[in-house]
Structure 1
Amino acid sequence: MVRVEILTDKRNVNNVVTKLLNLNAFEVDDSKAPISQNKYEEARRKLGETSENINKIKIIMELGGIEIEPKGKLKVSDWFEIATEVNKEYTKIEEKYKELLEEIGKLRAELESLNTQLSEIEPFKDIGISLELLYKTEYFEVALAILSNEQRNNLEKNERIAVYCNPFAENKNACIIAGPKGTNLETKLKEIGVRRFETPDMISPQEAYNNVQEKIKYLQSVLGERRKELISKVEQDREWIAETYGRLLTVRDAMTILSKARVSEYYVQIEGFLHEKKLKNLLDELEGLAFITYEYPKRYAENEGETPPTYVELPKSIKPLESVIELYGVPSYWEISPTVFLIITFPFLFGLMFPDFGNALVIFIFSLWFYNYGKKKGSNNIKQLSLVLIYGSVIAMITGILAREFFGPLAVGGLRELLNNPAYPNGPLYNIWPVPQSVYEQIKYILPTGGAEQGIVNSIILSLLLGSILLFVSSLLGVINAIKKKDPEFLVLDRLPILLIYTVPFIIFTYGLTNLSNYIGQVEALLGGIGYFLFKTGSPAPGSTQTLADILVIWTELALIYNWAGRVIILRKHEKMSSVGAIVFGFIEGGFEAGILLLSNTISFIRVLVFAVAHYYILYAFSYMGYLAAGQPSTVIALIINPIALAIIIIGNLLAIALEGLIVFIQDMRLHFYEMFSKFYEGKGRKFEPQVTYVEILS
């Protein structure tokens, strides 16, 4: 990213703006050293008008239920004249649709009002007595009202008043309140701030509720007809709307550039950020039209409060994962974007936690439908979320194939797996499954559901290996970012201690790779050596393994002390804390809390195992219930043709897909946001949003 300053003759400004838009890589900014205080006020006014018209045309598209991509051509000699022409062109569309849009707007407003009335009447909808009769009884004073718990208690203290209530929401009660004549019930209700419930013409709440429902139903049908009419018209005018929309967007961006430009008697100054790869294009395009200077943004502490935008160049196929990153924050211009990191780890962890080919296939199909739905609605967020789900479900299908799971254990493992009895038959897909039993026998010892005695233990250690690698890489990226940030204090006092701390679990769980054939045994020996050093129980690890265990314990202690000291210096210098306070809070944050996080962050990756196990056994449980409901048949076919058993299995799979799929997605995000991103990613930047052309600009 470079910051460019463009100085051009006033006569060339329209041509310069056109070329900047055609670059699709320039984001205008306020001038740091303006040549004057004068601006194009006309640009500011036309920018407001154009933006308002864009919002209106979007409403037409939204109500029409279609997404229209901007397109078209625009012949430009003067951008201000073009802005006037394009906005006039939009007014023709507005005039054509004005009456229909106003009618739809009124219908929607009336429906909203009726729905509000319906929600007010609903707590009393079962009362069929006319309120005129109820409120004018000869011997009693009666009222219907919505009371809070406090108001209800207040009334119940009065011995002459009876209160019967039905709670229907938090701190809300639909109540019938009654007392003998002379109670002055109306006055008492006003004293506690309660309004007596009334209906039009004092008819019964039941009748009022039915009347409002009928009105809503009628208005919904009318609204549906008007929307169909609108959709039909929008489809007929699709080309016209698309071209006008594209021109409006282009004019908006041109006016954005001009509204920030500084103007002197003879010159115009335009300043902003440009994608570095486009710098040569800019110099070539504006040669002879403008004088250009440029500089690279200074790093963090040197930039005098300036926050350059961040542009991360990614292939379109992985661009949607930026939406997950942006939930945390936009990368600063000096930060390594975690998107490339995320494209590998996010789907991978999702697949490990959700290993079932059938369930993942359903999510994949749903994601494709959801993507098309988002496309129709014009929602970029829906499309991006759908693509993230597609990536995750593809990996989950792969892990499901390896785990030989298809909507639970029955389809492949059959009753033999369900009952753990070789006398029973395998599932119908057993012999045609892509991963044969011989391969599965080789890998089942690292699968928590593989049936091997050491499966759970091995899976725990492998989950911790995965976690230790990801935490180490995250901490290493934190150090690299601190170097890129050019902030030595941040590097030495904050990021480096974290890297040293998370190097320890990385060494522990990669130690087994020194003897891959005995990986689990090597790691268990090292963990035993650490336990022996700390608690002096059991036996020491053999030879050099115990020495390494001793070194790692001491390393951890020194790294935590280093982190403690770093926090003390930061608290003293930046928080102006006293020495005693800095030492105490530095120990809490840099020593005690860092030690707890070391354990919790690493152990947190066991959730990868936990969710895989939970998924398997939930489907196992529903399959077993189906087996019992079917009368304990001897074949899988006999089980699934039983309607009750089939219903139970389908319900179990729907729960697994909907609830577990959502939970796994959330937990995947949690592992990234809290365990990994917190080690290296600040996300305090701003997104690069260049001014671009949405149509072909003709000279």
Structure 2
Amino acid sequence: MGSLFRSEEMTLAQLFLQSEAAYACVAELGELGLVQFRDLNPDVNAFQRKFVNEVRRCDEMERKLRFLEKEIQRANIPIVTPPTIPDSPIPREMIDLEACFEKLENEMKEVNTNQEALKRNFLELTELKHILRKTQHFFDENNFDQAMFDIISTHNYMMHDADKDEENHLLLGDDEHRQGVPMRLGFLAGVINRERIPAFEQMLWRVCHGNVFLRQAVIDAPLEDPTTGDQVHKNVFIIFFQGEQLKSRVKKICEGFRASLYPCPEMQSERREMAMGVMTRIEDLNTVLGQTEEHRQRVLHSAASNIRLWFIKVRKLKAVYHTLNLFNLDVTQKCLIGECWCPVSDLEQIQAALRRGTEKSGSSVPSILNKMISTEQPPTYNNTNKFTSVFQGIVDAYGVASYREVNPAPYAIITFPFLFGVMFGDLGHGFIMFLIGLWLVVNERKLQETMGNDEVFGIFLGGRYIILLMGAFAMYVGFIYNDVFSRALNVFGSTWNVSAMNFSEELLHGEGSYILNPNVTVVPYPYGIDPIWQLAGNKIGFLNSYKMKMSVIIGVTQMVFGVILGIFNHIYFKRFVNIWCEFIPQLIFLTFIFGYMCFLIIFKWFRYSGADSDQAPSLIITMINMFLFTEGDMMFKGQFGFQVFLLLIAVAAVPWMLLAKPIISYREHNSLQGKVKKYQGARMTKSQQLGDDTAEIIHHDDLDESESTSSEDSQQEEFEFGETLIYSGIHTIEYCLGCISHTASYLRLWALSLAHAELSEVLWTMVLRLGLSMEGWIGCIAIYLLFAFWAVLTVAILIFMEGLSAFLHTLRLHWVEFQSKFYKGEGHPFRPFSFEPLLDDKEEA
């Protein structure tokens, strides 16, 4: 808790590592994950650093592993996760890994090339087989050629256009264009994609002017593309034509549509003999393909059992060498010098890791870790666990805390789910959210392994503990509101007494309705809100007043707590002037106006009961009279004078905040300037008395002191009273106006609670109540269907959408209204060198 209250104390350290032990020591620090290295070569190009060749070799090995991983995933082979995480490999192991990956890559490429060539041959033979089968019926008749000629000739000579006849004459030739002379038809057979058939047929008709005859047949089973592995639907076609010019045009069209042409004999005996040969070759290819696939599967299964292990080793190698590139070499080229930020409390663990690395490398020279003094702001490191990390992440999303600044995360563990519960207060909906959070927490390890990488579900899984707490606090506040799915629970009975009501005989015997008035209740309810308010006509007015006042009290309390937390920052950083010039006037302004308003709310609750509530003065009118110095209806004796006193002190705190700090800073500046001048004058006088030689010795003895004094002097000379006054004025105006706007902003607690309750009431009245009002078997069916509809709307709207809305508003209240009172968030996070991120399935560490 102490570490979570304020970030860890950090120190800048210098590392001296022997060259032979540097790799092992950095690897041990990576396993530890407590050191953030600084780049000591910011001006050196990445390609000119010492270990750039090793990083390139790791990149090449990682590329080969990604290639193997892709092949394993294409083969649908499960990748085995190693039971234990291996240590960082020694540098000598890099050669063995490179040779192993090179062998596997070459083997896989060779297998893939051979398999693709075999599949291409198999596809060609399969298509040829379908061509021989599908076109067989075209050649069954003996006079098929003459029949085709008659069809084409009849089509040609029925055309009376002279130009058309002349073009056909050029296409068919002089020898074959004479009527009555028997001619021989040529043909081309092939296979084409099914979706290209309409365009293919249309192009043949237009280019050849109808002088070709196309027949096609569907291949029932899809064929596998050897390049992509996709299943493609194709058709067999055969084209009949006359003349070499038509043959040339048909071939060009087939090439344009990427159709595969195959030789097809004219004689039936030749086609039968070719089909038998094709079937024999297909059987042989199936055998070879099976053996090739078995060999490929064996290689991939062997790689799948080790690929995760190899990825971790290569990424650790790459991370270590990348980190070593941040070091400097000494003049002897035998030692590496590095700088790093590390927590002071973990220095012993870091020293132990360096000793382990030195022992593993076999070096006889120990590694040295020296603390350094630095004026640079250290990184912010908050040591968290899986429970507190989600709340720390919410705070860091707004801004990382400045070094050693008070951390709002431990308070957000309670205040965040509590404010969410105030807006979401419903016992039923909160119970559903609590069950969701509980399920995520109980099954967190299993869900992390299966669905942890999902972008949307990963967010809910990461926030499982905050969902659990938000559901629990929603149940707690819902029990106070006595609200369960917009219904009230009668746990303690009701303190409303019917005898207190003056019912007339006409009302009791009449047909009209009477709205209950629980304000006449004298006995307080044991816990929460009396369930009789569910039937009251002034239910909304009562709950609005109650929740509005409660929101103001909660908001002012949290803001006062935020101002109080600021004093811990002032004390820790020894800014004592801020205590008198910021903390005290800010606390006075906030408590004397808005704290007094909360006091009036609580006092009114105790002073007036439900019976005489009509006589109670209005809080809004009372606060207006306070600022107008007007005496109106008072709640206690001496209230007017007390209000005037509080308002005057609060108004006096404004110039206090505005002027006190600039004036004090200006006086301190002048005082320091006088001391510096007095010191310089005394030193000059002493120098004149002792002579030049002695003065030179005194000058060197007091060098550090004079340099520090001159440094402070140069800093003090930059002090500008006008700029300081403007800066103070901006913060004063921001704080004073912020107190008003932030107090009003907390009314969102009441507004969202009202919206949630009204939406729940609408769902109950408009959906579920309709089914409950029906009777008989129709009512059974209706309540079944309407309950399902009501449950879906409840989960989708009131839990997810309203829950997200309440979450965002709670986030706003913490970031702006609470944290602005003490939190700057101007730091930068601590990013240690660690191997833990490498364990995820990510391409980059």
Structure whose alpha-carbon radius of gyration is higher:
2
Q: Residue deviations 1:59-97, cap 9 Å, x none? A: 9599799996894324755x4x44565566666787788
For the pair 1:281 / 2:349, whether they are aligned, the reply is yes
Structure-2 separation of matches of 1:231 and 1:514 = 77
Check the 8 A contact 2:89/2:317 in 1, yes or no: no
For the pair 1:27 / 2:36, whether they are aligned, the reply is yes
The aligned counterpart of 1:444 is 529
Check the 8 A contact 1:447/1:456 in 2, yes or no: no
Deviation at 1:255, TM superposition (A): 2.0
Structure-2 separation of matches of 1:296 and 1:667 = 43
Deviation at 1:532, TM superposition (A): 3.2
The aligned counterpart of 1:560 is 654
Check the 8 A contact 1:472/1:502 in 2, yes or no: yes
Deviation at 1:328, TM superposition (A): 0.9
Structure-1 separation of matches of 2:449 and 2:617 = 52
Deviation at 1:330, TM superposition (A): 2.0
Structure-1 separation of matches of 2:798 and 2:724 = 49
For the pair 1:409 / 2:487, whether they are aligned, the reply is yes
Counterpart of 1:317, as a letter, is: F
**1:626 aligned to 762, 767, 770, which one?**
767
The aligned counterpart of 1:250 is 316
Deviation at 1:446, TM superposition (A): 12
Deviation at 1:657, TM superposition (A): 1.8
The aligned counterpart of 2:450 is 376
User: How is 1:615-694 mapped onto 2 (pairs within 5 angstroms)?
Assistant: 615-626=756-767, 629-630=770-771, 632=773, 642-643=783-784, 645-646=786-787, 649-650=790-791, 652-653=793-794, 654-693=796-835
Structure-1 separation of matches of 2:299 and 2:476 = 47
User: How is 1:245-644 mapped onto 2 (pairs within 5 angstroms)?
Assistant: 245-264=311-330, 265=332, 266-284=334-352, 286=354, 289-295=366-372, 303=375, 306-366=376-436, 368=439, 375-379=449-453, 381=459, 383-409=461-487, 412=489, 442-444=527-529, 454-485=542-573, 498-504=586-592, 507-508=595-596, 511=599, 518=606, 530-535=623-628, 536-543=630-637, 545-565=639-659, 589-590=730-731, 593-626=734-767, 629-630=770-771, 632=773, 642-643=783-784
Structure-2 separation of matches of 1:555 and 1:231 = 84
Deviation at 1:676, TM superposition (A): 1.5
Q: Taking structure 1 as reference, are residues 378 and 544 closer, same or farther at Cα in structure 2, changes over 3 Å only?
A: same
Deviation at 1:44, TM superposition (A): 4.0
Deviation at 1:583, TM superposition (A): 7.9
Check the 8 A contact 1:54/1:245 in 2, yes or no: yes
Structure-2 separation of matches of 1:629 and 1:100 = 69
SS of the residue corresponding to residue 332 of structure 1 reads coil
Q: Residue deviations 1:505-532, cap 9 Å, x none? A: 6632664799798289999898776443
Q: Taking structure 1 as reference, are residues 253 and 599 closer, same or farther at Cα in structure 2, changes over 3 Å only?
A: same
For the pair 1:72 / 2:100, whether they are aligned, the reply is no
Over the matched positions of the two proteins, sequence identity in percent amounts to 18
SS of the residue corresponding to residue 51 of structure 2 reads helix
Structure-1 separation of matches of 2:548 and 2:487 = 22
Check the 8 A contact 1:8/1:290 in 2, yes or no: yes
SS of the residue corresponding to residue 363 of structure 1 reads helix
The aligned counterpart of 1:152 is none
Counterpart of 1:281, as a letter, is: Q
Q: Residue deviations 1:627-674, cap 9 Å, x none? A: 663484599x96995356435633541321232111111111111112
Counterpart of 2:738, as a letter, is: L
The aligned counterpart of 1:12 is 21
Structure-2 separation of matches of 1:627 and 1:615 = 17
TM-score (normalizing by structure 2): 0.53
Structure-1 separation of matches of 2:110 and 2:756 = 55
SS of the residue corresponding to residue 601 of structure 1 reads helix
The aligned counterpart of 2:222 is none
Q: Taking structure 1 as reference, are residues 602 and 82 closer, same or farther at Cα in structure 2, changes over 3 Å only?
A: farther
SS of the residue corresponding to residue 834 of structure 2 reads coil
Q: Taking structure 1 as reference, are residues 6 and 627 closer, same or farther at Cα in structure 2, changes over 3 Å only?
A: closer
Structure-1 separation of matches of 2:745 and 2:808 = 14
Structure-2 separation of matches of 1:49 and 1:582 = 56
Q: Residue deviations 1:404-438, cap 9 Å, x none? A: 4443328x579x99xxx9x9xxxxxxxxxxxxxx9
**2:306 aligned to 224, 240, 243, which one?**
240
Q: Taking structure 1 as reference, are residues 566 and 44 closer, same or farther at Cα in structure 2, changes over 3 Å only?
A: farther
The aligned counterpart of 1:43 is 51
Deviation at 1:601, TM superposition (A): 0.3
Counterpart of 1:397, as a letter, is: M
Counterpart of 2:391, as a letter, is: L
Q: Taking structure 1 as reference, are residues 38 and 646 closer, same or farther at Cα in structure 2, changes over 3 Å only?
A: closer
Q: Residue deviations 1:336-386, cap 9 Å, x none? A: 222112111111111221122332344345555696666534446553234
Unpaired runs of at least 5, structure 2:
1-9, 114-197, 201-224, 232-295, 356-364, 499-507, 509-522, 667-715, 840-845
Q: Taking structure 1 as reference, are residues 613 and 526 closer, same or farther at Cα in structure 2, changes over 3 Å only?
A: closer
Check the 8 A contact 1:71/1:246 in 2, yes or no: no
Structure-1 separation of matches of 2:82 and 2:783 = 51
Q: Taking structure 1 as reference, are residues 346 and 98 closer, same or farther at Cα in structure 2, changes over 3 Å only?
A: farther
Check the 8 A contact 2:79/2:304 in 1, yes or no: no
Counterpart of 1:687, as a letter, is: P
The aligned counterpart of 1:3 is 12
Deviation at 1:325, TM superposition (A): 2.0
Deviation at 1:466, TM superposition (A): 1.1
Check the 8 A contact 2:23/2:320 in 1, yes or no: no
Check the 8 A contact 1:67/1:375 in 2, yes or no: no
Check the 8 A contact 2:80/2:305 in 1, yes or no: no
- Between 1:494-503 and 1:273-282, the stretch displaced more is 494-503
Check the 8 A contact 1:310/1:331 in 2, yes or no: yes
Unpaired runs of at least 5, structure 1:
103-199, 203-217, 224-229, 298-302, 424-437
Check the 8 A contact 2:486/2:761 in 1, yes or no: yes
SS of the residue corresponding to residue 632 of structure 2 reads coil
Structure-2 separation of matches of 1:381 and 1:599 = 35
Check the 8 A contact 2:14/2:369 in 1, yes or no: yes
Structure-1 separation of matches of 2:303 and 2:56 = 25
Counterpart of 2:626, as a letter, is: F
Deviation at 1:258, TM superposition (A): 1.1
Check the 8 A contact 2:80/2:304 in 1, yes or no: no
The total of aligned residue pairs comes to 547
TM-score (normalizing by structure 1): 0.62
Check the 8 A contact 1:331/1:337 in 2, yes or no: yes
Deviation at 1:485, TM superposition (A): 4.7
Q: Taking structure 1 as reference, are residues 21 and 442 closer, same or farther at Cα in structure 2, changes over 3 Å only?
A: closer
Deviation at 1:500, TM superposition (A): 4.4
Check the 8 A contact 2:16/2:337 in 1, yes or no: yes
Check the 8 A contact 1:25/1:274 in 2, yes or no: yes
Counterpart of 2:318, as a letter, is: R
Structure-2 separation of matches of 1:550 and 1:94 = 86
Q: Taking structure 1 as reference, are residues 66 and 37 closer, same or farther at Cα in structure 2, changes over 3 Å only?
A: closer
Q: Taking structure 1 as reference, are residues 388 and 71 closer, same or farther at Cα in structure 2, changes over 3 Å only?
A: same
Q: Aligned Cα RMSD in Å?
A: 5.6
Q: Residue deviations 1:443-464, cap 9 Å, x none? A: 2179998966754323322221
Check the 8 A contact 1:475/1:498 in 2, yes or no: yes
SS of the residue corresponding to residue 268 of structure 1 reads strand
Check the 8 A contact 2:559/2:817 in 1, yes or no: yes
